[in-house]
């Protein structure tokens, strides 16, 4: 036995030596075998040793000191610690449940909004928000936050718009449930889905932090629109024809509505002319201040449609609540409507000519009568019946005493000329391709001081066999303006004295002696402002320019061409300007007994600002005859004694 103990001690010593400086242990491993082992049967008998291959490994360790035993002990310790932690946690949980939870969790706060799933537009939405605090401590400074959809209005007086409403709930005790009723007027299009977002803010005792809990949004659908909109117009329109679009807005709400915004979206080919009532913003926005239940309001829009044949256009209308921050935009839409029309070939080709001109603006001279011609031609494949043409005359230069129709009926109280079947039998019907000519004359009044003009508007109506969605009554229009041009007048005078310049020399003029003269030009303007006014003339060879000028504008003299140019600039209507200059003349013997010319014919050229045309006038040549004297004073004498 001592041999075995010695062997174990040696192996233990070897193991410790191998463990120093190395984390890996060497072990001696013996392979398993079924070979029998000889065991001694008496004390003196030596055992027979069977030789087997030996694998050199680390020596075997004792059972109580081996690494495997050490690992097993570590696992036991970990298992024990885990079991102890579990027991401790169970104990703490039991104590927590037994003596109460003093903390707070948002998960223990429930918030829900309830109300009807459908509601008519413009009706009162009645909601209820329920809030339950399931925590063991109260929540403080609680505030209910309600976010309403666009276009919602309050039920209070004046129905102001509602965006976000904050309701103070103060403190909600532990385990307490409170219900908050909400009321609002909701608007929208039929079948439109809306939602109300609800949330709560709160604090807890001993903390300055603000906590937040949001509920599932409350969703509902607009079952009916509070507004019904109808748009009526012709389905087929001729290009250039003036047409009316009638918009009818009817209240479908059980309660009065206020501040209703109506907006129109015009196509490119629609030219707005006017509307009744007039728009409040631009040309396409109207405001209805109040609309009682079942009450209706009408808006009539007049415009001219321009386009190619078969072009299709549409006008879109939108009715709703104006935004509070921008009252020209819609916060919520109640209803929409659309009217469509198609451009067709003009049923009548209307040619309006004034003195042979078919321009939209024609310039006429003051006091001159103008002949007006209206030619009607049926451009359709259908016969037109019961044609009537009406001319509306207006303008500040129009005078009922200066109208001369060749046929038709002139109503001086309405300033209209009418041709119809009653006075022109040929208008009873007009075959395809046929035409009819109507005439009258007009003269502008001479008593208008500024920008005189006469407006001529032609409206033609006819009837044809009705088609689907085609107006039975067809309408054609034409218009033109007669603008009366300004008539500036130039006058010139000759003086000899010292009023403007100091003149010298004998009067009448004497051969061989120099006499100076002062020539003044006076420009009198007519009914329109004129600009770029130039008066030009020239001096004869025997007249000397003395370079003395006075008056408005500037006077330039060209010694080479002997031309004089007076640039008067701009002259207002019904006003006058003048300019003067001084010349000298030494009469020749051949001029004895004559009144020599001092200045050639004067020519005026200017631009009429009203008619945008060039106006001209002339004045005869100026001689030595003084403006306040006799002919003899301007006649040349041979000597001063003669």
- Checking DSSP bridges between strand 139-147 and strand 164-172, what pairing results, if any? antiparallel
The H-or-E segment that residue 137 falls in is none
Round to whole Å and give the CA distance between 395 and 445.
10
Burial class (CB in 10 A: 0-12, 13-18, 19+), 366: middle
Torsion of CA 598, 599, 601, 605, to 10 degrees: -160
CB atoms inside a 10 Å sphere around CB 536? 16
- Predicted pLDDT of residue 97: 43
Give residue limits of the domains in the chain. Answer: 1-40+48-68, 106-224, 227-344, 348-484, 489-634
Cβ-Cβ contacts under 8 Å for 310 (sequence gap 6 or more): 342, 343, 344
The DSSP secondary-structure symbol of 402 reads G
Round to whole Å and give the CA distance between 229 and 190.
12
Q: Is 89 helix (H, G, I), strand (E, B) or coil?
A: helix
Domains 227-344 and 348-484 in one fold: yes
**Matching residue, tokens 């003048």:** 578
- Predicted pLDDT of residue 147: 92
Q: What percent of the chain has pLDDT over 90?
A: 35
Round to whole Å and give the CA distance between 5 and 237.
127
Domain 106-224 has CATH 3.90.1150.10: no
Would you state the CATH architecture of domain 489-634?
A: Sandwich (2.60)
Confidence of residue 277 (pLDDT cuts 50, 70, 90): very high
Residue 304 vs residues 272, 273, 343: alpha-carbon distances, Å: 7, 7, 11
Round to whole Å and give the CA distance between 366 and 356.
18
Cβ-Cβ contacts under 8 Å for 405 (sequence gap 6 or more): 417, 439, 440, 441
- Predicted pLDDT of residue 255: 79
| Structure tokens given for 113 | 């909004």
Fold of 227-344: Immunoglobulin-like (2.60.40)
Residue 508 vs residues 107, 182, 497, 522, 594: alpha-carbon distances, Å: 122, 108, 13, 24, 11
Tell the CATH superfamily of the 348-484 domain.
Immunoglobulins (2.60.40.10)
> What does pTM read for this prediction?
0.51
Of 628, 622, 532, the C-alpha closest to 585 is 622
Number of H helices, E strands in the chain: 2, 39
Confidence of residue 46 (pLDDT cuts 50, 70, 90): low
Burial class (CB in 10 A: 0-12, 13-18, 19+), 162: buried
Residue 521 vs residues 501, 553, 603: alpha-carbon distances, Å: 15, 12, 11
- Predicted pLDDT of residue 494: 92
The DSSP secondary-structure symbol of 605 reads E
Confidence of residue 61 (pLDDT cuts 50, 70, 90): very low
- Predicted pLDDT of residue 609: 93
Helix/strand/coil percent split, the chain, to 5:
10, 50, 40
Round to whole Å and give the CA distance between 284 and 275.
9
- Checking DSSP bridges between strand 118-120 and strand 164-172, what pairing results, if any? unpaired
- DSSP assignment of 562-587: TEEEEEEEEE-TT-EEEEEEEEEE--
Confidence of residue 60 (pLDDT cuts 50, 70, 90): very low
| Structure tokens given for 213 | 């809990």
Confidence of residue 105 (pLDDT cuts 50, 70, 90): confident
Round to whole Å and give the CA distance between 234 and 270.
14
**pLDDT tens digit string along 458-497?**
988 888 765 554 545 677 788 999 999 998 999 999 999 8
Q: What percent of the chain has pLDDT over 70?
A: 84
Is the model's pLDDT at 504 over the cut of 80? yes
**pLDDT tens digit string along 591-601?**
898 999 999 99
SS (H, E, C) 277-296: CCCCECCCEEEEEEECCCCE
Confidence of residue 221 (pLDDT cuts 50, 70, 90): confident
- DSSP assignment of 226-280: SEEEEEE--SEEETTEEEEEEEEEEE--SS-EEEEEEEEE--TTEEEEEEESPPS
Winning range, highest mean pLDDT, from 67-81, 325-339, 497-511: 497-511
Round to whole Å and give the CA distance between 382 and 66.
121
- Predicted pLDDT of residue 207: 78
Confidence of residue 192 (pLDDT cuts 50, 70, 90): confident
The DSSP secondary-structure symbol of 15 reads H
Q: Is 369 helix (H, G, I), strand (E, B) or coil?
A: coil
The H-or-E segment that residue 96 falls in is helix 67-99
Round to whole Å and give the CA distance between 299 and 282.
15
Q: Which of 158-162, 198-202, 542-546 has the lowest mean pLDDT?
A: 158-162
The average pLDDT across 440-448 equals 88
Confidence of residue 243 (pLDDT cuts 50, 70, 90): confident
Round to whole Å and give the CA distance between 53 and 2.
26
Confidence of residue 418 (pLDDT cuts 50, 70, 90): very high
Cβ-Cβ contacts under 8 Å for 542 (sequence gap 6 or more): 585, 586, 587, 588, 591, 596
Confidence of residue 104 (pLDDT cuts 50, 70, 90): confident
| Structure tokens given for 344 | 């067709």
Burial class (CB in 10 A: 0-12, 13-18, 19+), 546: middle
Round to whole Å and give the CA distance between 312 and 153.
39
């Amino acid at each position: 036995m001592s041999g075995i103990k010695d062997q174990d001690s040696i192996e233990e010593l070897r193991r410790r030596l191998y463990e120093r400086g190395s984390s890996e242990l060497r072990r001696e491993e013996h392979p398993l075998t079924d070979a029998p082992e000889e065991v001694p049967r008496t004390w003196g008998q030596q055992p027979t040793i069977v030789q087997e291959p030996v694998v050199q490994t680390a020596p075997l360790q004792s059972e109580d000191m081996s690494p495997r035993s050490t690992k097993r002990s570590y696992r036991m310790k970990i298992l024990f610690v885990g079991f102890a932690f579990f027991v401790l946690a169970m104990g703490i949980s039991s104590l927590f449940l037994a003596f109460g939870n003093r903390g707070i969790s948002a998960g223990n706060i429930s918030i829900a909004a309830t109300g009807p799933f459908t509601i008519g537009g413009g009706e009162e939405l009645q909601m209820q928000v329920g809030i339950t605090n399931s925590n063991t401590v109260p929540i403080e400074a609680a505030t209910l936050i309600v976010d309403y959809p666009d276009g919602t209005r309050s039920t209070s007086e004046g129905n102001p718009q509602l965006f976000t409403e904050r309701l103070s709930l103060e403190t909600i005790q532990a385990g307490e449930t409170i219900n908050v009723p909400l009321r609002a007027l909701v608007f929208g299009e039929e079948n439109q889905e809306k939602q109300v977002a609800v949330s709560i803010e709160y604090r807890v005792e001993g903390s300055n932090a603000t906590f937040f809990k949001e509920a599932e949004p409350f969703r509902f659908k607009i079952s009916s629109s509070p507004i019904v909109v109808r748009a009526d117009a012709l389905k087929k329109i001729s290009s250039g024809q003036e047409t009316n679009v009638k918009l009818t807005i009817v209240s479908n709400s059980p309660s009065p509505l206020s501040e209703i915004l109506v907006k129109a979206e015009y196509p490119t080919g629609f030219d707005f002319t006017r509307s009744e009532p007039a728009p409040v913003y631009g040309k396409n926005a109207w405001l209805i201040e109040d609309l009682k239940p079942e009450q209706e309001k009408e808006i009539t829009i007049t415009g001219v449609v321009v386009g190619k044949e078969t072009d299709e256009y549409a006008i879109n209308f939108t009715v709703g609540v104006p935004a509070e921050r921008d009252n020209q935009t819609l916060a919520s839409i109640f209803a929409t409507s659309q009217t469509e029309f198609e451009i067709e070939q003009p049923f009548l080709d209307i040619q309006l000519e004034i003195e042979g001109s078919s321009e939209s603006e024609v310039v006429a001279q003051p006091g001159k009568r103008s002949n007006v011609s209206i030619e009607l031609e049926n451009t359709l494949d259908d016969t037109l019946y019961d044609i009537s043409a009406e001319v509306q005359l207006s303008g500040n230069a129009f005078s009922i005493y200066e109208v001369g129709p060749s046929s038709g009926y002139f109503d001086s109280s309405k300033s209209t000329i009418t041709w119809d079947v009653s006075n022109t039998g040929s208008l009873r019907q007009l075959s395809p391709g046929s035409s009819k000519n109507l005439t009258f004359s007009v003269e502008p009044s001479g008593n208008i001081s500024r920008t005189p003009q006469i407006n001529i508007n032609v409206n033609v109506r006819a009837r044809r066999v009705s088609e689907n969605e085609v107006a039975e009554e067809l309408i054609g229009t034409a218009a033109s303006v007669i603008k009366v041009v300004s008539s500036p007048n130039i006058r010139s005078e000759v003086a000899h004295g010292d009023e403007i310049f100091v003149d010298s020399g004998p009067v009448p003029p004497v051969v061989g002696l120099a006499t100076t003269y002062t020539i003044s030009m006076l420009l009198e303007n007519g009914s329109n402002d004129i600009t770029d006014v130039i008066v030009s003339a020239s001096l004869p060879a025997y007249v000397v320019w003395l370079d003395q000028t006075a008056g408005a504008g500037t006077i330039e003299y060209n010694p080479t061409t002997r031309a004089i140019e007076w640039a008067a600039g701009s002259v207002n209507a019904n006003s006058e300007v003048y300019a003067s200059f001084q010349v000298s003349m030494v009469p020749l013997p051949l001029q004895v007994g004559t009144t020599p010319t001092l200045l050639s014919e004067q020519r005026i050229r200017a631009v009429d600002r009203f008619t945008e045309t060039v106006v001209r006038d002339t004045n005869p040549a100026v001689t030595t005859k003084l403006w306040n004297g006799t002919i003899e004073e301007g006649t040349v004498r041979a000597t001063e004694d003669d």
